[in-house]
């Protein structure tokens, strides 16, 4: 009983939460969450572990200062010493489709030595495009217009108010076309300067 109690106290969640896509609020699996700043004692421990694992250290997905999110976006760090921490999150498999997010948090035990986990969401910005499609005549919204990113093939359709959003695009210069029954196709170029960049393109369609 005493051993079980000690084991329970030893393994307490200190920092926990989810990584989600910033605009759609959907959980992201496989995101890397890492502690990039921590109390001096913890950083000393990391230096010792790095020496222990040698060249394999950098490629490890799970370390005392690093973890990977579950299918529901969940992550946690156990048994951290009291102090201030800085966390970052990114999606290694996402290429330039996602940016990074960074937050600060503090770990503190109560008078009995127990940790109350600090729980929060890390909102990972996706490289995304949004906008609105309207008709030249009358200026009303165009519903169900097809919005396509040429080359890569991402496609979405406008809602009843003419708005659209496409998330998780690669950065760089992209050509976007909009087509709808009864209208001429319109094309514009948009540039995503960096991962996680958000751009707005509005289209005005001319009737055929």
Q: Which CATH number characterizes residue 163's domain?
A: 2.60.40.10
Confidence of residue 24 (pLDDT cuts 50, 70, 90): confident
The CATH number of whichever domain residue 32 belongs to comes to 2.60.40.1120
User: Of 92, 124, 156, which residue constitutes the final position of a domain?
Assistant: 124
Indicate if 120 and 132 belong to the same structural domain: no
Q: Are residues 113 and 45 in the same domain?
A: yes
Among 124, 157, 185, residue at a domain's last position? 124
What is the per-residue pLDDT for 116? 87
Same domain, 20 and 54: yes
Q: Are residues 85 and 188 in the same domain?
A: no
The C-alpha atoms of residue 140 and residue 132 are separated, in whole angstroms, by 10
Q: Per-residue pLDDT for 78 more than 70?
A: yes
Site of tokens 């309207």: 134
| 177 shares its domain with 191 | yes
* 135 lies in the same domain as 94: no
E strand intervals along 38-158: 66-68, 74-78, 83-90, 101-107, 118-124, 128-135, 146-149, 155-157
* Cα(188)–Cα(174) distance, integer angstroms: 9
pLDDT in tens, 88-123: 999 999 999 999 999 999 999 999 888 889 999 999
| CA gap 164, 184 in Å, rounded | 18
Answer yes or no: do 177 and 97 share one domain: no
Q: Are residues 80 and 154 in the same domain?
A: no
Residues 13 and 41 in one domain: yes
Q: Residue 188: give the domain boundaries.
A: 128-205
Q: How many domains does the chain have?
A: 2
- pLDDT reading at 63 higher than 70: yes
Is 139 in the same domain as 119?
no
For residue 1, pLDDT over 50 is answered with no
> Residue 89 in contact with residue 77, Cβ under 8 Å?
no
pLDDT of residue 45: 94
CA distance 176 to 156: 11
In Å, what is the CA distance from 174 to each residue of 125, 128, 129, 198? Answer: 18, 11, 10, 13
Flag whether pLDDT at 3 surpasses 60.
no
The residue with greater pLDDT, 166 or 5, is 166
106 CB-near residues (< 8 Å, 6+ apart): 83, 84, 85, 118
Of the residues 55, 89, 124, which one is the last residue of a structural domain? 124
User: Are 94 and 17 contained in the same domain?
Assistant: yes
Interval 115-166: pLDDT, tens: 889 999 999 999 999 999 999 999 999 999 999 999 988 999 999 999 999 9
- Specify the pLDDT at position 5: 46
pLDDT in tens, 37-62: 999 999 999 999 999 999 999 999 99
C-alpha 17/C-alpha 136 separation (Å) is 46
1 versus 143: the higher-pLDDT residue is 143
Q: So what's the pLDDT on residue 11? A: 76
Whether residues 85 and 139 share a domain: the answer is no
Q: Is the pLDDT of residue 6 over 60?
A: no
């Amino acid at each position: 009983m005493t051993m079980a109690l000690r084991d329970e106290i030893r393994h307490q969640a200190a920092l926990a939460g989810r990584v989600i896509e910033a605009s759609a609020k959907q959980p992201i699996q496989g995101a890397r969450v890492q502690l990039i700043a921590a109390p001096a004692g913890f950083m000393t421990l990391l230096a010792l572990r790095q020496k222990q694992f040698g060249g394999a250290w950098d490629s490890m997905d799970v370390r005392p200062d690093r973890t990977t999110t579950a299918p529901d976006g969940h992550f946690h760090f156990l048994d951290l010493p009291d102090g201030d921490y800085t966390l970052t999150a990114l999606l290694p498999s996402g290429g330039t489709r996602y940016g990074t997010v960074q937050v600060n948090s503090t770990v503190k035990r109560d008078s009995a030595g127990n940790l109350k986990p600090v729980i929060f969401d890390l909102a990972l910005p996706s490289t995304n495009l949004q906008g609105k499609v309207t008709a030249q005549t009358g200026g009303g919204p165009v519903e169900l217009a097809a919005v396509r990113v040429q080359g890569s093939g991402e496609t979405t359709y406008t809602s009843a108010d003419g708005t659209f959003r496409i998330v998780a695009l690669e950065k760089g210069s992209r050509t976007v076309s909009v087509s709808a029954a009864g209208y001429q196709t319109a094309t514009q170029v948009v540039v995503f300067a960096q991962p996680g960049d958000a751009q707005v393109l509005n289209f005005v369609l001319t009737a055929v």
